[in-house]
Structure 1
Amino acid sequence: MEHIHEPRNSTEAALLEFKSGIGTFTQKMPEIAHHYNAFTEACFKEGKLSQKQKHLIALGISIQSQDEYCMVYHTKGCLDQGASEEEILEAIGVTAAFGGGAAMSQAVTLVQECITELNQLKQ
């Protein structure tokens, strides 16, 4: 009997849910998924901007657009690329200055929860 990994927290559950959804989409629409993935990988490659900077930008955009899956994904990307909590919070501040209350409400709840939970997973 195969052991099914139960997520330990809502952040991990969201990441697994997103991964599962991408897998299903890839099975049903492989050509579109391939092109989308290639485009995304090219956009996030190290260039004049670091991958960390690109994930900080993407996190701000995802907060502004209220895209919770991308908030979780790019918070993880920021941490994986070595962003400190202070750098992430500074990016949130810039987003909030642009996006106002809606951005701030997501930033002070979901993103901070993700930082805590993702850091706990590393331990």
Structure 2
Amino acid sequence: MNNGIQTSVEAALLHYKEGIGTFTKKMPTIAERFHAFTEACFAEGALTKKEKQLIALGISLATQDEYCTIYHTKGCLDEGASEQEILEACAVAAAFGGGAAMSQTVTLVQECVRELRTTH
């Protein structure tokens, strides 16, 4: 993988963490409630945490949200999703989101998996 991509994936994750930290300082009540809501949404239930991350990745691709695509690709890996499971979820997103979702799958998602898999 080229170093520019590695840096961009790492930089995007850091940029998000810094941004959410700043927002939390400025809007603590909103941030706390948002975090509580998302934690509840991603908690184990009838669906596993891994399944929920795969769904979130698909939605991220369909909505063309690059930060969430990176974040939820990492979430999928953190929850033990295989590359095959990730790519199948991406294929479903591409069936819904078309070429835009597929372009993010064949570039950003695969780059994230290559880079982030080495840290898991």
| RMSD over equivalenced CA pairs, Å | 0.9
The aligned residue for residue 3 of structure 2 is: none
Given the two structures, how large is their TM-score scaled by the length of structure 1?
Answer: 0.91
Q: 2:87 aligns with which of 77, 86, 89?
A: 89
CA contact (8 A) 1:9 1:117 kept: no
The aligned residue for residue 4 of structure 1 is: none
The aligned residue for residue 65 of structure 2 is: 67
Compute the displacement of 1:84 (Å).
Answer: 0.1
Q: 1:114 aligns with which of 89, 112, 115?
A: 112
Compute the displacement of 1:9 (Å).
Answer: 2.3
Give ranges in structure 2 of 5+ residues lacking alignment.
Answer: 1-5
Compute the displacement of 1:96 (Å).
Answer: 0.7
The aligned residue for residue 47 of structure 2 is: 49
CA contact (8 A) 1:85 1:115 kept: yes
Name the % identity.
70
Compute the displacement of 1:120 (Å).
Answer: 2.3
The aligned residue for residue 98 of structure 1 is: 96
The aligned residue for residue 32 of structure 1 is: 30
| Rounded Cα–Cα distance in structure 1 between residues aligned with 2:119 and 2:12 | 14
Compare CA radii of gyration and give the structure with the larger one. 1
Given the two structures, how large is their TM-score scaled by the length of structure 2?
Answer: 0.93
SS at match of 1:121: coil
Q: 2:16 aligns with which of 15, 18, 22?
A: 18
> Structure 1 segments of 4 or more deviating over 3 A?
none
Give ranges in structure 1 of 5+ residues lacking alignment.
Answer: 1-7
Compute the displacement of 1:70 (Å).
Answer: 0.3
**Structure (1/2) with the larger helix percentage:** 2
